Chain A
Amino acid sequence: MTDAALGSLEPLPIVIPVVGAVLAPVAARVSRRLPLVISVLAMAASAGVLAILCHRVYTGHLVVHYLGHVGPVDGHALGIALAADPFGLTYALLAAALGTLLVLFSLSSMRELGSHELGGYACLYQLLLAGLIGSALTADLFDLFVWFEVSALASYGLTGFFLARPFAVEAAFKILVLTTIAGFGIFIGTGLIYDTHGALNLGQIHVALGSGAHSADLVALALLVAGFATKAGIVPFHGWLPDAHTAAPGPVSALFSGLMVNLGVVAIVRLTLQVYGSAGRPVLGLVTVLGAVSAVMGAVLALAQDDLKRLLAYDTVSQMGVLLVGFANRSASGVGGATYHLINHALFKALLFLCAGSIVHATGKEKLSEMGGLARARPVTTAAFLVGAAAIAGIPPLNGYASVGLIHDALLHDEPAAYSALLVAQVVTIAALARAAYLAFFRPRASDYDDLERLHPGMLTAFLALCGGCVAFGAMPGLVIRNVVAPATAWITTSGAYASGVLARRGTLAPADVHFDYWSATELLTVVGTVAAGLLLAWWYTRHEEPRLVTGLRALHNGSVNDYTSYAAFGFVVAAGVVLIGHP
């Protein structure tokens, strides 16, 4: 197929789920099964269309399409551009494929829902995924804002969907307030950029910025980064994230944590590295600091949690921080490792949240202190949880090993401070998961559980698929790096390539040089060291009182939406201020 023909397919992966979202509630009136069938078909079709683009895009080509064929004239683009680069396509494909699996899992396991609710749920789920795929493929700043808002609106609905628990509406209010404020930041940032340069097309903005950015451009970028960091749950914008994940049922948490928060990271990478490029250098330091703080603080808070899903949610905060630090490093190894880790995180975090959801569903217990002895009662879930935890810990042959190893390689020489922050975060993360695994699964429990529900075949399929993904992406790092990570890294790290490709409607890049030495002694020793330190810390933590520092950190998270908003507002002011002061 020619590039033009391939390009004309690009709107389909977004349009199909939107159509599915409209049809699902209508179809629910006919039959209870129909919304499930429609959503699975729509998401699978979307993934299928994206798969058609794969061969061309992963061989290093940019496939660009201007809606209605209103292309750029003399470098001025008025039409809305869609551009599939390997990085965006990876995220879109991940969203569509994992989305299919999660829809299948959630709709087949939610048998207690009425047909009306089932239709609404299927609708919101597909809208959210359409928003994610749209933001991955768009090459237009305003379009990015619109897709951000589409996914945000759907996420409000999903958070507050299960009203049986009052916590759900509380969480919905928090996510509403913080995401709305994030939307203001993105909206004003977009407006500022358009006002200064008269451009919304990402390629045109890059050209207009040239090599240097004015303070107005940097403030705009800081507002955009802060806005998308709210979506990514980066400290100090993270107040909504633990609550929303705790209140939502397992499959929704898996969707939020595995896919939705990544939208923030993908947008930050696109704007700071691909659009601003060298002009955005002053903001990268800010991104690194935000990422490192999130990585450590998220991990420490995860270690202190008693609620299993809340623990995993704080771990998401930590992992998003790791991703940002990796991307902000700008080296092939850092960006490649972070791209790889983005895929891996989606797989193992979705797996862990499905495990947690299935445990909560079966036992009715949410707190680790009330669980225990589940290894005997739920062997399959235990095995799946352990696979996910080991993948985060980076134990070979699971997938976290290569991606975290690559990020560590990149930081080791250039950024010793960030490197040590990530090592600390890694140790604490391992400790948090080891503690959770011990308390929930292996600790002896005095009394037996009342009759536990059997594992649905749908759940088993999802566990198997995600565990298989964790193993496959970990056992074949060479294949993944060569075919997916290296092309994606090239498009992120080569300055101006994405922008000129969008404007010229074509572009080709050779893959970047990303190399990972699987059997290197440093990597293996790092893993052994962090795992040993993590297990020791977990052992120590379960036997001692909570340290005062942790108590203080937890006291900051007092559940008050006013306070969470003030943290976020503080973050916005600091982000803009630092960029202004740091700019000569």
Chain B
Amino acid sequence: MIVVNYLAAGGLFCIGLYVVLTHRNLIKMVMGLSVMEASTYLLLISMAYRRGSTAPVFVGPPAGRTASSLSHGGVADPVIQNFCLTAIVIGVAATAVFLTVVVRIAQHYRSLDADDVRGMRG
């Protein structure tokens, strides 16, 4: 049931956002953002779903299907899947930068509490 996926994506997004808004530990904030990110992937992959469809691979189709029947629908939307793959790659890069910055903050401030890392204000 695909509605479950949408609900799960929405729920995960809210959990992630809740963590980012309420937790001051920087590592936990990064984790919250990662959960939010994962929820967007789940949402988009669920959008790509079509009832009774199979993977968008045209070489060696599963039993009972031909390449031409696949190309006339009956496959999950490959564009959205590509979309997600690109976003995952970008997300990995962003998480790497995130963690680098957190390490640097820990070295400079000797703390991971967001409340200690607010020298600039006003």
Contacts and interface: CB of A to CB of B under 8 A. Distances in A.
Q: Do A and B come from one complex?
A: yes
Interface of A: 142, 146, 149, 152-153, 156-157, 160, 163, 166-167, 169-173, 176-177, 180-181, 183-184, 187-188, 190-191, 194-195, 200, 242-243, 246-247, 304-305, 310, 554, 557-562, 565-566, 569
12 contacts: A142-B83, A146-B86, A153-B90, A176-B97, A176-B98, A180-B94, A181-B20, A200-B79, A559-B119, A561-B118, A566-B21, A569-B21
B90 to A, nearest CB: 5
A177 B93 contact: no
Given A169-B105, A173-B105, A560 B114 contact: yes
B31 to A, nearest CB: 12
Judged by DSSP, the binding face of A is: helix
Given A173-B102, A184-B37, A191-B83, A247 B97 contact: no
Contacts of A562: 20-24, 29, 114
A195 B50 CA distance: 12
A167 B94 contact: no
Of A181, A190, A305, A561, most buried by chain B (CB within 10 Å of CB) is: A561
Of B97, B101, B117, most buried by chain A (CB within 10 Å of CB) is: B101
A163 B102 CA distance: 13
A569 B17 contact: yes
Contact of B90 (A149, A163, A304): A149
B94 to A, nearest CB: 6
Q: How large is the interface on B (under 10, 10 to 19, 20 to 34, 35 or more residues)?
A: 35 or more
Nearest to A305: B122
B94 A560 contact: no
Contact of A246 (B94, B105, B108, B120): B120
A243 B122 CA distance: 10
B121 interface: yes
Contact of A176 (B22, B94, B115): B94
B118 A157 contact: no
Contacts of A243: 120
A561 B121 contact: no
Nearest to A554: B122
A163 B80 contact: no
A149 B91 CA distance: 9
Given A173-B26, A243-B120, 19 more contacts: A142-B83, A146-B90, A153-B93, A166-B119, A167-B120, A169-B108, A170-B105, A170-B117, A170-B120, A171-B120, A173-B102, A173-B105, A176-B97, A180-B37, A188-B43, A195-B47, A557-B121, A559-B118, A561-B114
Given A187-B87, A188-B40, A560-B114, A565 B120 contact: no
A560 B121 CA distance: 8
B87 A558 contact: no
B44 interface: yes
B122 A160 contact: no
A427 to B, nearest CB: 22
Contacts of A190: 83
A166 B24 contact: no
Contact of B36 (A184, A304, A557): A184
B112 to A, nearest CB: 11
Interface string B73-87: 000000110010011
A560 B118 contact: yes
